[in-house]
Structure 1
Amino acid sequence: MATVDDVARLISALPEVTEGERYGHRTWFVRGKAFAWVRPFSKADLRRFGEETPPGGPILAIKVEDLGEKEAILAANPDAFFTIPHFDGYPAVLVQLREVDRKALRDALTDGWLAVAPAKLRTALPGYPAS
């Protein structure tokens, strides 16, 4: 089980991350590009669930490199990672923080950072191969 404060601590280890607010919710950026944000369900999202109970919060959205990576993440850990119709065709996954383990969360946040960080900045990430 993770919290939004755990997310903030994990993200603080990534180079050049800033925290701000977007649409009234905590959002993390690298050089002005969002890669992770708190994403509660909107009324429209809740209507789409119909009779089905939506995943419990808090919910985090994380960018991914592309739709292929999105599908791989969703298949690898369906208890913690999911999507909703609003994210169809968009390279991001949703994370149920109550269900995700620390390693999977750290890996997803790092991958989200890599998805938006400029190529030169990626080499500042420890363990990332230099060009």
Structure 2
Amino acid sequence: MPHVTVDTGTADNPIYQVGRKSFVFFRNPRPDATDPETGERYDDVIVVWVGSEADKQAMVQDEASPYFTTPHFGGHPSVLVRASRIGEISRQELAEIVQDAWLSQASRRRADAWLRDHPPPG
């Protein structure tokens, strides 16, 4: 995606930004995202912005999907996914969620230019 910069978080985790707005970042282990069996904090959580609450709910409603959320992210336009489960997402779906995340944070001018040059299928 154009105009992307990569910053680093507190544990040198990558933070992907467009126009200084994050759209994908790798989160540090936190108490709100833990293994339900062991209680261990997940160390591989990726935060991905989404376009709307409806998009978020559509992604997290299927408990078998790799997408999830926590109360900490209630009302936040993002979903969580564990890096260890990224293989459950097709390359095309992954490209789409990253593109949608970028579009949700890019300026109107940048988003319009991208969509003009890369019209959605269908």
TM-score, normalised with respect to structure 2: 0.77
Distance 1:106 1:76, change over 3 A: farther
Residues of 1 paired with 2:94 and 2:67: CA distance? Answer: 10
Distance 1:97 1:16, change over 3 A: same
CA RMSD of aligned residues (A): 2.6
Higher relative contact order (CA 8 A, sep 6+): 1
Report sequence identity in percent.
26
Distance 1:78 1:110, change over 3 A: farther
Match of 2:46 in 1: 60
The answer as to 2:13 corresponding to 1:22 is: no
Match of 1:110 in 2: 99
Structure 1, unaligned runs of 5 or more? 1-13
Q: CA deviation at 1:54?
A: 6.4
Q: CA deviation at 1:55?
A: 8.4
The answer to whether the 8 Å contact 1:30/1:116 transfers is: yes
The answer to whether the 8 Å contact 1:39/1:61 transfers is: yes
Match of 1:32 in 2: 20
Match of 1:120 among 71, 91, 109: 109
Count of aligned pairs between the two proteins: 114
Residues of 1 paired with 2:110 and 2:94: CA distance? Answer: 21
The answer to whether the 8 Å contact 1:57/1:98 transfers is: no
